[in-house]
Structure 1
């Protein structure tokens, strides 16, 4: 999952980025609202964390600009203000949730996970597809109850697939959701990770779990009728 973090307090930004990376997210950062707006327009994020008190373009204005452009990724606002009016203003601008500073990074991560799940139509932290179960809170993956161990990048890729079961995703889109904006999008790394996932999750290809659609990308096959609930 790829996040945009817009925070002008560089110490806090660095601290939050580290916590988010440890939680298995890919994180792009911006120091002011104008840079945040540019990145929000140019890149495909799974969610954004936006501070209200930003220079050049404040957080509320930034959110309004993004929503006016029909950019729909979930937005969590950070505010040092205790006034309920400020929180309502942020939500009315198009934010989906808020945290008041100071806060625990663990709460931030939990709220982000919930926002991303809801945006993908998943109410529970447990996402299932046939014999596979992925817990977005514990980052545990099981197949018929047996735990499967994946690398960090393999997990990110499989989680993204599990939150978009049945959808065709191009190699570029998959790369964008795993790596930051400086990564070489022409790299064949996604093909490598797809092969690894197939070998670990469906070694005999009995399930046909991940389909390759020539010239289009890849699709995680829905293995039961309840997979999208």
Structure 2
């Protein structure tokens, strides 16, 4: 899942980003209200962690939250604020925030609130994905095939989930990187190929059909029918 952290304090932003990344999320960071608004206008995020007080606009996080609600009413927003007052909390909730957390906060509580909001989001209740005898449970991030459970890492799940959610469609490596890695990713170019190899090794035993097809020079595809074969 891809999250946006909006925080003008670079130290706090880096700590929150690292904490959420270590929890298995792809995380982008914006430090001003205009940068945050630009980010949500370009990308679709599964959740936004949003500081209430931001430079760049008079009402900072309130304006960002309202713009998020205009673009996607269902995106969970966790508001961070150093103002422990009823007025600040009411402002945040009235602007569309789903929850708020008072600074300073414990990182364990931050990640717990993120998990709770994601569980309540519409994406958390999506049905089981199935293709070629493989099922993927979005709630547990576990794949199943031929009676066996197949645990996946966060990146393996993100790649497989995106392919299965777009059946019969060739997905390029760059599109998979956009979905499963944050916007600052500058690692080696064959990272997608590496994770496809990991998935094939986990999902396919000898004698089983490889559900992930390679289209050389184009990308990868999972067919919704039973006649797929890898090239």
| TM-score after normalising by structure 1 | 0.71
Q: Deviations over 1:1-21 (max 9, x none)?
A: 221111112221111111111
Q: How does 1:29-178 map to 2 (within 5 A)?
A: 29-57=29-57, 58-70=60-72, 72-122=74-124, 144=147, 148=151, 150=152, 153-158=155-160, 164=165, 170-171=171-172, 172-178=174-180
Cα displacement string for residues 16-35 of structure 1 (whole angstroms, at most 9, x for unaligned residues): 11111111112111111111
Which residue is 1:10 aligned to?
10
- Superposition deviation, residue 146 in structure 1: 5.1
| Corresponding residue for residue 224 of structure 1 | none
Match of 1:226 in 2: none
Residues 22-51 of structure 1: CA deviation (Å, up to 9, x unaligned): 111121111111111111212232211100
The corresponding residue for 1:26 is 26
Instruction: Please state how far the C-alpha of 1:52 moved relative to its aligned partner.
Output: 0.3
Q: Deviations over 1:105-151 (max 9, x none)?
A: 12211222232333244369xx79788676968x7777656564x55
Judged with a 3 Å threshold, the aligned counterparts in structure 2 of structure 1 residues 131 and 154 are, in CA distance, closer, same or farther, namely closer
Higher Rg: 2
Please point out which of 201, 204, 208 is paired with 2:203. Answer: 201
* Residues 216 and 152 of structure 1, relative CA distance in 2, 3 Å threshold: closer
Please say if residues 37 and 65 of structure 1, whose CA atoms lie closer than 8 Å, have aligned partners that are also in contact. Answer: yes
Q: Residues 112 and 141 (structure 1 numbering): CA distance in 2 closer, same or farther, change over 3 Å? A: farther
Q: Which 10-residue stretch deviates more, 95-104 or 201-210?
A: 201-210
C-alpha spacing 1:174/1:80, structure 2 compared with 1 (3 Å)? same
The 3 A distance-change label for structure 1 pair 71 and 35 is farther
Counterparts of 2:223 and 2:119 in 1: how far apart (Å)? 17
**Alignment RMSD, CA only?**
3.9
Report the TM-score when normalising by structure 2.
Answer: 0.71
Aligned length: 219
Structure 2 unaligned spans of 5+: 225-231
